[in-house]
């Protein structure tokens, strides 16, 4: 064990919310520090583009949590106050239904990791009406972990608490290369006990001098993930650099 706090890192905003809400950082001894990764951040230019689309007359449908994310000048909430038509939906499928009932141009905007991207692929494969489109701002977790490792040299990353619902789709295999790089990995659900279990798995690996992929969320994640969802995504979207 190193002579500094052991610091596993998570990479998901929902994990950060659970850790904060349940006071998980106050539970373990000082020698353990749970770091918070970048989570899913929307590039300001994506917000700017969507606001420009809204101001051109289209209706924007999105999820509630994105409304306050700042663009370079304003958020979608600010744009709505200035008259842009921005509405909340609970599902990509709801957005399609709104488009079917409307003569307006409907643009569904959602940034997402691997968990949410398949539902966007599904609506596009189901021949939505011509007035429906998606502003896709999807991100992938493994490259985000690469970026953390490459750019986060000031962070002592002792292991990754991997987001469970991403693994529901991609399985556990994509994390194996990080274990080969020496990082213990535990795939975690979003209940406090799931996160604590994942932390214990990582600590056991560190103590044993091991680095492997373990699954602390077997009730929702299997090793191979959801093949059908991944095939749909591959049919509809293409992976490109984010910048």
Where along the sequence are the contacts to other proteins (CB under 8 A)?
12-17, 25, 33-42, 63, 65-66, 68-70, 90-94, 110-113, 115-116, 118-119, 122, 125-126, 155, 163, 165-166, 168-169, 190-193, 218-222, 226, 228-229, 232
Nearest distance, CB of residue 16 and other proteins, angstroms: 6
Q: Which is nearer to other proteins, 40 or 51 (CB)?
A: 40
Q: Which is nearer to other proteins, 172 or 226 (CB)?
A: 226
> Which of 12, 34, 40 is closest to 164 using CA atoms?
12
Q: Which is nearer to other proteins, 111 or 213 (CB)?
A: 111
Nearest distance, CB of residue 39 and other proteins, angstroms: 4
Q: Which is nearer to other proteins, 102 or 222 (CB)?
A: 222
Put the strands of the sheet holding 213-215 in their side by side order. 35-36, 9-10, 160-163, 185-188, 213-215
Neighbours of 180 (CB within 10 A): 11
Q: Between β-strands 106-112 and 59-62, what pairing exists: parallel, antiparallel or unpaired?
A: parallel
Nearest distance, CB of residue 243 and other proteins, angstroms: 18
Nearest distance, CB of residue 61 and other proteins, angstroms: 12
Nearest distance, CB of residue 87 and other proteins, angstroms: 16
Q: Which is nearer to other proteins, 37 or 184 (CB)?
A: 37
Q: Which is nearer to other proteins, 180 or 192 (CB)?
A: 192
Q: Which is nearer to other proteins, 65 or 210 (CB)?
A: 65
- Collapsing DSSP to helix, strand or coil, 155 comes out as coil
Nearest distance, CB of residue 100 and other proteins, angstroms: 14
- In angstroms, the CA 85 to CA 59 distance is 5
Instruction: Give me Rg for the CA atoms of the chain.
Output: 20
- In angstroms, the CA 188 to CA 180 distance is 19
Nearest distance, CB of residue 66 and other proteins, angstroms: 7
DSSP state letters, 68-124 = T---SS--HHHHHHTT--EEE-S-HHHHHHHHHT-SS-EEEEEEE-TTTHHHHHHHH
- In angstroms, the CA 151 to CA 149 distance is 6
Euclidean distance between the first and final Cα of the chain, in Å? 38
């Amino acid at each position: 064990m190193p002579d500094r706090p052991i610091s596993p890192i998570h990479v998901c905003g929902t994990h950060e919310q659970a850790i904060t809400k349940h006071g998980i950082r106050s539970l373990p001894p000082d020698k353990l520090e749970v770091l918070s990764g970048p989570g899913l951040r929307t590039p300001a230019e994506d917000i700017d583009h969507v606001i420009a689309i809204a101001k051109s007359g289209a209706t924007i449908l999105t999820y509630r949590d994105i409304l306050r994310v700042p663009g370079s000048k304003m958020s979608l909430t600010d744009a709505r106050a200035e008259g842009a038509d921005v509405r909340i939906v609970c599902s990509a499928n709801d957005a399609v239904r709104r488009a079917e009932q409307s003569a307006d141009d409907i643009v569904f905007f959602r940034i997402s990791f691997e968990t949410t991207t398949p539902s966007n692929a599904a609506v596009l494969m189901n021949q939505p009406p011509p007035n429906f489109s998606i502003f896709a701002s999807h991100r992938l977790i493994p490259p985000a972990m690469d970026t953390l490792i490459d750019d986060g040299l000031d962070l002592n990353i002792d292991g990754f608490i991997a987001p469970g619902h991403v693994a529901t789709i991609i399985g556990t295999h994509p994390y194996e290369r990080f274990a080969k790089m020496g990082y213990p990995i535990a795939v975690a659900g979003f209940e406090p006990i799931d996160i604590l279990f994942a932390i214990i798995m990582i600590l056991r690996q560190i103590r044993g001098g091991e680095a492997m992929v373990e699954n602390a969320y077997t009730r929702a994640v299997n090793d191979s993930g959801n093949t059908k969802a991944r095939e749909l995504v591959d049919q509809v979207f293409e992976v490109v650099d984010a910048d």
